[in-house]
A = this chain, B = another copy of it.
């Protein structure tokens, strides 16, 4: 029902704004670019894309990535403003102003935490990515999705499912990917750009991170430590540390993977990962942080040596409690 209401709303509108969330990811950018392409193919007079933050360099291979604006012109209005992949209004950051400038509003999203903040709320929590919902819209509004949309939607779904590996991946995710490939995607090129491209600085940092690896409690706890000196000497960016904790977690026998980051002399950050048995959100909670059972984090007001001691002690206690 909502789907048909949304289609009707799209059909009725000619001047459309599309807004996605701050710190946009592959699903945000891919879904927006595909939706814009679909609406243009469907003959809309004007479609404008908005995002508070820049498109990540990683996604600059997507056609149309340079079309995003980050602010509204004075007095500008739209027939329809569509928030894409935003669970609530705050996710739009400063571009919430664009959302408010729509005579009507729509919310297309897949997050379970969505707050239904628009006139029309097309929220499907079974979709692994917002890109899956956009795909369904595309099938209704155009006869031919086209290669640009196919590549954008593949990117959206692939990045939100960890390249079709995470638990949220469904038969539908693979089926849509199959149909997108039929439209025409150079799958090796796209996946190489998304997953197999590393800056030299990141590899230099990874070498240091892995060299710091320590194991405790019969290899059940693995700790990687990254200092400020590691960051400056390699030239790597903070964001490039992101997945390194998984090298600790993915070791055979490890139950808790810990990445310890020196923020400055008196602040440390921890990223925690669990293979499943231990709930690391409880561990993070002991230090004022939070997250999920399998992935959590916290910021500690102490130097990295002290943080290491305290987190290790707490992790050891949890392991002991977990095995009773």
Q: Which residues of A pack against B, CB within 8 Å?
A: 163-167, 169-175, 177-179, 181-182, 187-188, 191-192, 195-200, 203-204, 206-207, 210-211, 213, 215, 219, 246-247, 250-253
Do residues B163 and A170 form an inter-chain contact, with CB atoms below 8 A? no
Do residues A171 and B178 form an inter-chain contact, with CB atoms below 8 A? yes
| Docked pose: A78 CA to B251 CA in angstroms | 43
Tell which of B169, B182, B198, B204 touches A252, judged by Cβ atoms closer than 8 Å.
B198
**B residues near A200, Cβ cutoff 8 Å:** 215, 219, 251-253
**B residues near A188, Cβ cutoff 8 Å:** 165-167, 169
**B residues near A199, Cβ cutoff 8 Å:** 251-252
Residue of B nearest to A189 (CB): B167
Chain A residues touching B, majority SS: helix
User: Can you name 29 A-B residue pairings with CB atoms under 8 Å?
Assistant: A163-B164, A164-B177, A164-B187, A165-B192, A166-B187, A167-B187, A167-B188, A169-B187, A169-B188, A171-B178, A171-B179, A171-B182, A172-B178, A174-B175, A174-B177, A175-B175, A175-B178, A178-B178, A192-B250, A196-B250, A198-B251, A198-B252, A200-B252, A203-B210, A203-B247, A206-B210, A207-B211, A210-B210, A211-B211
| Docked pose: A219 CA to B203 CA in angstroms | 13
Copies of this chain, how many? 2
Known contacts: A200-B251, A252-B197. The answer to whether A187 contacts B165 by CB under 8 A is: yes
For the complex of A and B, 9 pairs with smallest distance between CB atoms: A207-B210, A174-B178, A165-B191, A175-B178, A171-B181, A167-B188, A171-B182, A171-B178, A174-B177
Do residues A165 and B163 form an inter-chain contact, with CB atoms below 8 A? yes
| Docked pose: A164 CA to B154 CA in angstroms | 12
| Docked pose: A173 CA to B179 CA in angstroms | 11
**B residues near A203, Cβ cutoff 8 Å:** 210, 213, 247, 251
**B residues near A253, Cβ cutoff 8 Å:** 200
Do residues A207 and B213 form an inter-chain contact, with CB atoms below 8 A? yes
Tell which of B177, B204, B251 touches A213, judged by Cβ atoms closer than 8 Å.
B204
**B residues near A198, Cβ cutoff 8 Å:** 247, 250-252
| Docked pose: A177 CA to B170 CA in angstroms | 10
Do residues B252 and A196 form an inter-chain contact, with CB atoms below 8 A? no
**B residues near A182, Cβ cutoff 8 Å:** 171
| Docked pose: A170 CA to B251 CA in angstroms | 32
**B residues near A179, Cβ cutoff 8 Å:** 171
Q: How far is the CB of A256 from chain B (nearest CB, A)?
A: 14
**B residues near A163, Cβ cutoff 8 Å:** 163-165
**B residues near A197, Cβ cutoff 8 Å:** 250, 252
**B residues near A250, Cβ cutoff 8 Å:** 192, 196-198
Q: How far is the CB of A263 from chain B (nearest CB, A)?
A: 24
**B residues near A174, Cβ cutoff 8 Å:** 174-175, 177-178, 181
**B residues near A204, Cβ cutoff 8 Å:** 213
Residue of B nearest to A179 (CB): B171
| Docked pose: A211 CA to B206 CA in angstroms | 9
| Docked pose: A306 CA to B177 CA in angstroms | 48
- Most chain B CB inside 10 Å of its own CB: which residue of A164, A247, A253: A164
